[in-house]
Structure 1
C-alpha cells in the first residue's frame, strides 16, 4: 500500500507535536487533528472532512487528567469515532501510542490506557500499538503539580524516554509496509537505562530551585507493581537515548 496522507489525532499535544515534526521532516502529507484545528475526536466535529483521502491515522490524543473513569470514557469515545469515521473514509489502519506495562494495570490512568488498547484492537480497522515508557517531560509535570519549593516524588524505577524518540518509532511503525508477525509481542520503546523517578526529578528540581524528596509512592495506583519493575520495558523493547540527564542538558 502506498501511504500518501497521514492524519494525526492529538497533533498539538505533547507527543503529537513531535509526530508532526517527524512526518514533516520526512516530507509526508499531514492532516493535523485537534480541537485547535477544528477537529474533535470526541464529538466527531470535523472528523469526516479531516479523514477524507487519509491512508493512516496516528492516534496520540490523550486525556488531560489521571482520573480513571473520565479517562476511560475519553478513550472509549475516541477509539469508537476513529474506527467509525476512519472505516467510512477508507483508512487502511490506525497506529496508536500506549504505555509499557498497561497489561498489568488495575487502576488510574494506566488502567484507562489498558482499556484504550482493548477498545482499539476490537474495532474494524487494523491497529498497530507502540508501548512507550514515561516521557522525560513527565518529570516536569510531577513538579508542576506541586506547590512550593519542596516536591515529593515517588522513588520508583522507570526507564524515561524522550518524546521525540517515541515519535520517530511510532511513525516508523505506522508507515511500515510489512505486517506484524502473528503472535508477536506489542513493540516497546524506552530510554537507554533504568532510572529512579525521584532522582530524575531532583536533577530538574535543582534547576528550578525545588528540593525533591523521594517517597515510596504508596498513594499512587499500582505503586507496588511499579516498585517491582512491572512498568519497565521487556526484553524485546527497543532502547534509545538520550538519558534524562542528557535530554535535560538540551532544554532551555
Structure 2
C-alpha cells in the first residue's frame, strides 16, 4: 500500500511514517522540505500520484482560534481535493478526544477540520486520540521562564505518540469508517504532575505552578473532557513512567 503522511516530520507524523515502513508500506512524506506545501497546495498533487491512503497528522503551534481554523480548513481542503483528483481511496485525519464542547483556541481548529472532512464526500476516518505523553515536553518548553514552569489545569489520559502513529497506520490499512474508536492512555494524570515528574527525571529544578487558564479554552482544559472515555476507547499500553524511561530525552 502507498501511504502519504501529511505532517510526516512532526511528533506523531514521524511515528506514523516509521510504523508504516515497518509494515512494509511505501511511504510518501508530505512536507515543504520534500516539495509538497499542504497549506498552499504547491506540489501536492504530484506527490499523491499512486497513493492509496492519506494520513493527516498536520499540526500548528498557534493557539489563536482564527489562525487554527484557517490552518486546518485550508490544509484539509487541499489534501481532500488533491486526493480526490488523484483517486486516493481513504483519507485518515488525526483529531483529539473530548473536544466537542471546547470550540475555542486550537480545539476550534480541530473541530473545523473534522467538519471539512465529514462534509467532503471523500471516504474517510476521523481518529481521535488523547493528549500525548510528549505534551508535557511541549508545554514545558513554551511556559518555562527561569526557575518556573506554568502548567494549565488539565486532566488527561495521555498516550505515547508512537502508539498514536501505529494506531493511524492500522486505521489506514482498514476500510474507511467515518469515526474510529478513540485512543486513550492507560492512566489518568494532571498535566502539572506529568511535568513535575519529567523535571525530576531530567534533574531540572524548576517549580511547576498549576493555573486555570482563562476563557472557554481554560474551562475546557480543566473540565476533564479531554480524558475521553476509557470504557469505550482503545487503550494504549505505554504509561507515562515507561515513556520517561524508554522514549523521553532530557532537553
Q: TM-score, normalised by structure 2?
A: 0.92
The verdict on how the C-alpha distance between 1:208 and 1:70 changes in structure 2, with shifts beyond 3 A counting, is farther
**TM superposition shift of 1:186:** 4.3
Match status 1:92 vs 2:89: yes
Q: How many residues align?
A: 245
Query: 1:204 touches 1:248 (CA, 8 Å); kept in 2?
Result: yes
Residue 156 of structure 1 is matched in structure 2 by 154
Structure 2 matches for 1:144-223, cutoff 5 A? 144-145=141-142, 146-177=144-175, 180=177, 186-206=180-200, 207-219=202-214, 221-223=216-218
**TM superposition shift of 1:221:** 4.2
Residue 232 of structure 1 is matched in structure 2 by 227
The verdict on how the C-alpha distance between 1:185 and 1:82 changes in structure 2, with shifts beyond 3 A counting, is closer
Q: SS in structure 2 opposite 1:222?
A: helix
Q: What does the per-residue CA deviation read over 1:55-106, in whole Å, with 9 as the maximum and x for residues that have no partner?
A: 1100111112221111110111111111111111011010010001121112
Match status 1:123 vs 2:120: yes
Distance 1:225 1:188 in 2: 18
Q: What does the per-residue CA deviation read over 1:112-131, in whole Å, with 9 as the maximum and x for residues that have no partner?
A: 11111111111131110111
Q: SS in structure 1 opposite 2:159?
A: coil
Q: TM-score, normalised by structure 1?
A: 0.92
Q: Equivalent of 1:137, from 134, 140, 160?
A: 134
Distance 1:152 1:64 in 2: 17
Match status 1:26 vs 2:20: no
Q: SS in structure 2 opposite 1:173?
A: helix
Query: 1:87 touches 1:124 (CA, 8 Å); kept in 2?
Result: no
Gaps of 5+ in 2: none
Gaps of 5+ in 1: none
Query: 2:146 touches 2:206 (CA, 8 Å); kept in 1?
Result: no
Query: 1:83 touches 1:124 (CA, 8 Å); kept in 2?
Result: no
The verdict on how the C-alpha distance between 1:64 and 1:152 changes in structure 2, with shifts beyond 3 A counting, is closer
Match status 1:79 vs 2:76: yes
**TM superposition shift of 1:228:** 3.1
**TM superposition shift of 1:185:** 5.8
Cα RMSD, aligned residues only: 1.6
Q: What does the per-residue CA deviation read over 1:154-174, in whole Å, with 9 as the maximum and x for residues that have no partner?
A: 342111110001111111111
Q: SS in structure 2 opposite 1:129?
A: strand
